[in-house]
Each structure stands twice: as C-alpha cells, then as structure tokens.
Amino acid sequence: MAGMSLLRELKVAVLEEEMRLYRVCGPRDDEAFEDALRSHYELGRPPRGPENRAAAIHMALSMFDTARGAHDLAIRVPKLGGHVAVIDLQPDFGICVSKTGGPAHWSVWGRPAQLAACVTDVVQVDDLDLS
C-alpha cells in the first residue's frame, strides 16, 4: 500500500533513568514556548503521517537522541522555530518514551510543565554544538 507508514509496533517504556534528548522549538522567552512541549493532539492539530496510523504517535512529542537530528529538522523546517531545546528527561515525572522513526528519533509522552522543567538549555540552531 503506497504511502502507508512503516510503523507497525510501539514499545513504550516508562522512563527509569535520566535521558538526554533534543527537540526543535522556538526561543525559550517566547510565551508560546511551552506549546513546543505539547503534542499535535493536545494542540488540537489534525494527525499527519504516522500520526494517522497510530493515535499514540499523535499524542507524543518528536525528539532526537542527537543534536544533529534536531539541527537537521530545524534547518529543513524553519517554521518550527529555529531553536533546539536540550532536554534532560527525569524519572519520576511519569514520562514515557519509545524508539520510533529514524535511527535518532524518539517519541515522548509527558506533561508539558514537567517536560519544561527538564529543559536545560535552548540554543539557536546556528549556535548548536554538533561535536
């Protein structure tokens, strides 16, 4: 079937130890910053791509385990905000994660205020350390 998502199975884990991930966003001082930590579902946006195949993905945030993955997305899609949040996810916040998509891609479920508390830095994409 042409155009169907390759997603077949989700293995979701409750986060049990700290995990650093990266998310494309706008500047931290933007009053809409916390919206970057809300899923398309929570923002009332229609599902797209793999979100059509699995409602759980529509309810998740897309993050990367490398700065390069977030950087490349930010460059490809400037309307996402041109910044990258460094997020040190913490256990005991009820955060769940699943390895999905490409080699560096993760789906993350969590409450926006607690995810915001895990943000350790927000860097303009051009200033991101990719080493």
- 71-126: pLDDT as tens digits: 999 999 999 999 999 999 999 999 999 999 788 999 999 999 999 999 999 999 99
pLDDT higher at 7 or 72? 72
Assigned domain for 19 exists: yes
- Give the pLDDT of residue 4: 52
Assigned domain for 67 exists: yes
Buried-state track 100-113, b at ≥16 Cβ within 10 A, e below 16: bbeebbbbbbbebe
Assigned domain for 1 exists: no
Question: What domain range is 40 assigned to?
Answer: 14-127
Are 18 and 89 in contact by the 8 Å Cβ rule? The answer is yes
- Give the pLDDT of residue 2: 45
5 confidence band (pLDDT: 50, 70, 90): low
17 C-beta neighbours (distance < 10 Å), count: 7
Assigned domain for 48 exists: yes
Look up the pTM and report it. 0.92
Which tokens go with 31? 């009053």
Which amino acid does the sequence have at 55?
A
The backbone torsions φ and ψ at residue 69, rounded to the nearest 5 degrees and listed phi first, read -60, -45
pLDDT higher at 31 or 5? 31
At a CB cut-off of 8 Å and minimum separation 6, what does 29 contact? none
Assigned domain for 6 exists: no
Assigned domain for 2 exists: no
* Tens of pLDDT, residues 18-75: 999 999 999 999 888 999 999 999 999 999 988 998 999 999 999 999 999 999 999 9
Are 83 and 69 in contact by the 8 Å Cβ rule? The answer is no
Assigned domain for 9 exists: no
Assigned domain for 8 exists: no
Domain count for the chain: 1
Which tokens go with 33? 């910053």
